[in-house]
Amino acid sequence: MRRRKKENMGSAARVGNSSYDYSFKVLLIGDSGVGKSSLLLSFISNSDSIHHLSPTIGVDFKIKLFTIGGKRLKLTIWDTAGQERFGTVISSYYRGAHGIILVYDVTRRETFTNLVDIWAKEVELYSTNHDCIKILVGNKVDKEGERAVTKEEGMALAQEHRCLFLECSAKTRENVQQCFNDLTLKILEVPGLREKGYVVVKRQKQKKSQSDSCCS
């Protein structure tokens, strides 16, 4: 039972066809209102307009297939609620994640400081892949006039926590694709993660029949 759950939520997706070579789980975290859902929508859909979205409650979940460096990838992206109060629930979001995107709003300084005070600690606590890739993302650079966190500060924090770093805008879509590209390329560079995400249909079938027989 437990094994099967892991399979589904983590690396090896259960699919009939093998239209992709790797399947990775990515998690979006950060304060509420920094634009996690917007960033995701901007990445998933090709529409130019990002409207107001309702605050995420619990978790939202989206899938994107794309090709990078000649590899066909499937990303399942878990978009979490920004208000941290879900305790035990949240650990299931982190389980088996290959990549984590930490988002802040460049116009709201507290969303930046909370990344250190709250979110980095949470990653430390719940993350099960200890070599998982993190990327720090400063969103809303389209509001340059309201900027409250400099790019240098962002870079310094990223370095300190050994994260990748980018500034982007979900609204204008500037750097949005780049953010996911950088993250997945880096995941592919880490043998431990790459192997966990490698999709071998045959192996999964065996696993599945094993667990079926032991459960029934």
Return residues touching another protein (CB under 8 A).
Answer: 1, 4-9, 13-15, 32-33, 51-55, 57-63, 76, 81-83, 85-89, 92, 110
Tokens of 116: 């250190």
User: Which residue's CB is nearer to another protein, number 61 or number 124?
Assistant: 61
Q: How far apart are CA 62 and CA 46, in angstroms?
A: 14
Work out how close the CB of 60 gets to another protein at its nearest, in angstroms, rounded to a whole number.
6
Cβ closest to another protein, residue 65 vs residue 200: 65
Cβ proximity to another protein: between 165 and 184 the closer is: 184
- What stretch of H or E contains 89? helix 88-94
CB of 16 vs another protein, minimal distance in Å: 9
**Residue 51 exposed, middle or buried by CB count within 10 Å (0-12, 13-18, 19+):** exposed
DSSP 135-164: EEEEE-TT-GGG--S-HHHHHHHHHHTT-E
Which tokens in the block code for residue 82? 């920004």
Minimum CB separation of residue 177 from another protein in Å reads 22
Shortest distance, position 32 Cβ to another protein, whole Å: 6
